[in-house]
Amino acid sequence: MTGYPDGFLTDPPSLSWPVVRDALARRAGIAGRHLAIVFLDVVGLAILWLLVTYIYAWYGLGSIAYTLVPWWAFVLGVVEGAALWESFGRSLGQRFAHRELSGASGVPTGGQRVLYFIGWHLTVLPLVGLFFDPPWHERLSGLRLGPPVERGEAPRPWYRTSSGLFLAALLLATAVAAVGVTITTTNLRRLFTEAGRTAKFWRAFFSPDTTILAASGRDLVVTIYMAVMATAFAVVVAVPLSFLAARNLMRGPVGRLVYTVLRGAMSIVRSIEPIVWAIIFLIWVTVVRAPFAGVLALWVHSIADLVKLYAERLEAIDPGPIEAITATGAGRLAVLRYAVIPQIVNPYISFTLYRWDINIRMATVVGVVGGGGIGQRLYHYLTGNLWQQAGTVMLLIVILVWAIDYLSSRLRAKLA
Amino acid sequence: MANPYLVVENLTKVYERGQVVALRDLSFSVEKGEFLVVIGLSGSGKSTLLRCINRLVEPTKGKIYLDGVDVTRLSSARMRRVRRRIGMIFQQFNLIDRSTAIGNVLTGRLGYTPAWRALLGWFSKADRDRALANLERVGLRDKAYVRADQLSGGQRQRVGIARALMQEPELLLADEPVSALDPATSHSVMQYLEQMNREDGVTVLASLHFLSLARRYGTRIIALKDGQLVFDGPPGAIDDTRFKEIYGEEAEEVEVR
């Protein structure tokens, strides 16, 4: 034992040409791989930037532009982006080269990544540091860009990681937005620059015509009554139907059939908007009876909506009391009266108020196609370019809807 | 020698969904006036067994004789008349939360009330007096007009007991009556059951989780495991080996005092 490390006393490797050549080749290989990765990342980011800015400029600003910023800012952004990407994530280039950052003890720490990021600038930009083995920034941070480390468990696929999903969602949203902007011919600039053209309306809207208040008030009452009638008659039909549309109450083959047919029919009725129902009923009961057609339209739609809401509440009731009341020897109706009804009364009233609130708003919309009430008056003024009168009517509608909204939410809060 | 009060013969229950076998070929009988405790792990079929007796759950196979009548073959109208005589209390109490204590207790009379009166909620004066007396008996006379959801767990279960008392039952089914209660309250509830058993001669079938409670209150214990009867005997006969048979090798006995 000499006390020296092994090989210390043997001859140093001679500096022959093959040794030098191999060393150079190895270092060139490392530098080349690093450069290839950086190149891919920079080019990838640049392409992404150009795409986004081009689309934004064309559809958002209505002009052609490539970078939207001075060339030096573009270069700086792309290069810094690549540095951040390589230091703090798995960049495109690293993925292509099948390389990954890893520390001596496995996963890199945040501090090591920051050092790598700083070292990256010292190494990659002057290029010199890359020809060391390992390169400067790897020495500084203690990280190594090597083949992916085999970890105990299989790496999770991208669609199982939160960052992967986030990226996918971002890309999807970008694509959807790009398509959407095109097909709806969006032009944000016009939205802001052309607002002055509407000044005339707004002025008219905010200088109400008080001479039509009395007549409008009568129409308002008609509208309120349309909603009240539609809701009241819908409740009468929807409550019994809801029991037939609740899965937990409809057992057996016949029950299941009734349930399926009823739920299906209701969803079809509900999918046809009240405005369409209004047109159908206008033809049916004649235009002369316009408010009645409006009531029928709201009625039909409310039934479908309420049956669904009621039935879903019924399906959520606690089966415990049903068992308990059945166990006392009570008959079916008594079970319904004592175990089911107490659980649903308040939610039913609450849903009904909610629907009434919707019907008030819908009644004005239904009026626009000729279903009577304040909506019809509004439509009349709008088509006649009577802005001042239209403004008055809209003001009245806003007050009504706000008041009903407030009233119904207060009542529902009381019930909860 | 008269037949036993309750006879269960070859009772099998298979739940259709998933083909779960809850009870397998179960047979035992209960004499009038017994306090029978059913023990076993969760999912061993205790609840299903109790519910088969008053047919809240329809048995798949087998017979259940109550006082010599096969309840599995009764029409629903006649089953209702049998159910009047069978009180039941539940782990989750199953009260009507929005109703008062007395309102809940009165529902115990529904089996004896004509349908039209039941629908209008017109209970007779006699029933109202009886409801107050039963609330008095479970120590809740002063809570009669308090809503059920304002009561504590022990109070809710006592309302459940008063509701069962309204039926003037011959048989009481208690499905884990104290599982949702703390130990002190558990004993108070169990003592009401014991009192019904001793003073009114009500036959009690109670499923319990704690063996200590079963030993303390039961006159006889049956144990279920995977829907099969694994033990039937006096409370004293359950020793450590038996215990491990019923609850599995890893089980430790937990005491409720």
- A215-251 residue pLDDT tens: 898 989 989 999 999 999 999 999 999 999 998 888 7
Domain boundary among B110, B133, B168: B168
| Chain A residues in contact with B83 (beta carbon < 8 A) | 326-329
Indicate if B148 and B179 belong to the same structural domain. no
The answer to whether residues A245 and A307 touch, using CB atoms and an 8 Å cutoff, is: yes
For chain A, give every residue range classified as CATH 1.10.3720.10: 203-415
Contacts of A343 in chain B (CB under 8 A): 96, 98
pLDDT surpasses 60 at A2: no
From A344, which residue of chain B is nearest by alpha-carbon distance?
Answer: B98
A14 three-class SS = coil
Q: Do residue B48 and residue B104 come from a single domain?
A: no
Residue B211 resides in a domain: yes
Residues of A in contact with B97 (CB under 8 A): 342
Are the Cβ atoms of B111 and A325 closer than 8 angstroms?
no
Question: How close A343 comes to chain B (CA, Å)?
Answer: 8
Cβ separation B115–A331 shorter than 8 A: yes
> Across all residues in chain A, what is the average pLDDT?
85
Cα separation, A338 vs A322, whole angstroms: 8
Of A324, A22, A233, A64, nearest in space to B106 by CA = A324
Nearest chain A Cα distance for residue B23, angstroms: 20
Q: Output phi, psi for A406, to 5 deg.
A: -65, -50
Q: Are residues B6 and B34 in the same domain?
A: yes
Q: Tell whether B135 and B76 lie within a shared domain.
A: no
- Is B13 in the same domain as B73? yes
- The alpha-carbon gap from A344 to the nearest alpha carbon of chain B, in Å, equals 11
* Cβ proximity of A275 and A365 under 8 Å: yes
Q: Is residue B91 part of a domain?
A: no
pLDDT mean over A268-281: 90
**Residue B209's domain is classified under what CATH number?**
3.40.50.300
Structure ipTM over 0.90, yes or no: yes
For residue A324, the chain B residue with the least C-alpha distance is B94
- DSSP-derived letter for residue B83 is H
- The residue type of B25 is D
- Whether residues B200 and B138 share a domain: the answer is no
If asked whether residues B1 and B111 sit together in one domain, one would say no
**Interface contact A326-B56, CB threshold 8 A:** yes
pLDDT given for residue B1 in this prediction? 44
Q: Is residue B7 part of a domain?
A: yes
Residue B78 forms contact with A (CB below 8 Å) = no
- Mark yes or no for CB contact B96/A328 under 8 Å: no
Nearest-neighbour CA in chain B from A330: distance (Å): 4
**Could you tell me how many CB contacts below 8 A there are between chain A and chain B?**
84
For residue B90, being part of any structural domain is answered with no
Rounded CA gap, A216 and A151, in Å?
Answer: 75
pLDDT at residue A1 is higher than 60: no
d(CA A372, CA B64): 67
Residues of chain B neighbouring A325 (CB-CB closer than 8 A): 107, 110
Tell me if chain A has a CB within 8 Å of the CB of B113.
yes
Domain count, chain B: 2
Could B83 and A329 be called an inter-chain contact, meaning their C-beta atoms sit closer than 8 Å?
Answer: yes
Q: What is the Cα–Cα distance from A145 to A133, expressed in whole angstroms?
A: 12
Residue in A314, A161, A350, A190 with CA at minimum distance from that of residue A241:
A314
Tell me, yes or no, whether B216 lies in a domain: yes
Which residues of chain A make contact with B80, given a CB cutoff of 8 A? 329-331
Whether residues B149 and B214 share a domain: the answer is no
Residue of B83, B99, B118 lying closest to A327 (CB–CB): B83
Q: Which of A247, A325, A328, A343 to mutate to test the interface with B (most CBs of B within 10 A)?
A: A328
Q: Identify residue A267 by its one-letter amino acid code.
A: S
CB contact under 8 A, B110 and A342: no
**Is B208 in the same domain as B250?**
yes
Q: In the listed set B168, B202, B222, which residue is the last one of a domain according to the structure?
A: B168
Per-residue burial over A44-77, b = 16 or more CB atoms within 10 Å of its CB, e = otherwise: bbbeebbeebeebbebeeeeeeebeeeeeebeee
Question: Closest approach of chain B CAs to the CA of A177, in angstroms?
Answer: 46
Contact (CB<8Å) A338/B96 = yes
How large is the average pLDDT for residues A382-403? 88
Chain A residues touching chain B at CB-CB below 8 Å: 318, 320-321, 323-331, 333-334, 337-339, 342-343, 345-346
Nearest C-alpha of chain A: how many angstroms from B41?
A: 21
pLDDT in tens, chain B (257 residues): 467 899 999 999 998 776 788 899 999 999 999 999 999 888 888 999 999 999 999 999 999 999 989 999 999 899 999 999 999 999 999 999 989 999 999 999 999 999 899 999 899 999 999 999 999 999 999 999 999 999 999 999 999 999 999 999 999 999 999 988 888 889 999 999 999 999 999 999 999 988 888 889 999 999 998 889 988 989 888 877 788 878 876 777 666 65
Q: B249 CA to chain A: closest CA distance, Å?
A: 34
**Residue contact B119–A334, C-beta within 8 A:** yes
Q: Is the domain of B116 the same as that of B161? A: yes
Residue pair B256/B183 in contact (Cβ under 8 Å)? The answer is: yes
Contact A334 B108 (CB under 8 A): no
**Residues spanned by the domain of B160:** 96-168
Q: Are residues B145 and B175 in the same domain?
A: no
* Mean pLDDT of the A209-219 span: 88
**CATH T-level assignment (fold) for domain A203-415:** MetI-like fold (1.10.3720)
Question: A-chain residues within 8 Å CB-CB of B51?
Answer: 323
Q: Do the Cβ atoms of B111 and A324 come within 8 Å?
A: no
A323 and B56 within 8 Å at the Cβ level: the answer is: yes
pLDDT beyond 80 at A15: no
